[in-house]
Amino acid sequence: MSYPPQSPPPGYQGYPGYGPPPDHSNATLIMILGILSLVLCQILGPFAWVMGRRALNEIDASGGTIGGRGSVQAGYVCGIIATVITVLSILVIVVVIVATVVIGVSADTGS
């Protein structure tokens, strides 16, 4: 008696131990966002940070069936650095504006 062919269950990755696992679907995107956030547009930093954290959690929960941890971690760290630089830049701008206003007000009052 022959049985009809069956398709593998959803999420089936094949036999373990035969080559590296496939990279996370967003690994390259996260790395590109992280690099661009450092080089061109720091507003992309929080996106790389959040997406990177989520992807790292998914990679850790996969039990080794999802790879690309190095690319995701690189984008994640670049996103953190770019976000910190952005926040510090905004703080410096606010301090300069407040100092300018305070100096301008004290110059007008003659103090």
Query: What was the pLDDT predicted at 11?
Result: 66
**DSSP designation for 23:** B
The pLDDT mean for the chain works out to 87
CA torsion 18-20-25-28 (nearest 10°) is -160
> Would you say residue 5 lies in a domain?
no
Domain tally for the chain?
1
For residue 75, what are the domain limits? 27-109
> Would you say residue 15 lies in a domain?
no
Q: Which segment of 7-21, 46-60, 68-82 scores lowest on mean pLDDT?
A: 7-21
pLDDT of 35 above 60: yes
Query: What was the pLDDT predicted at 24?
Result: 92
> Would you say residue 68 lies in a domain?
yes
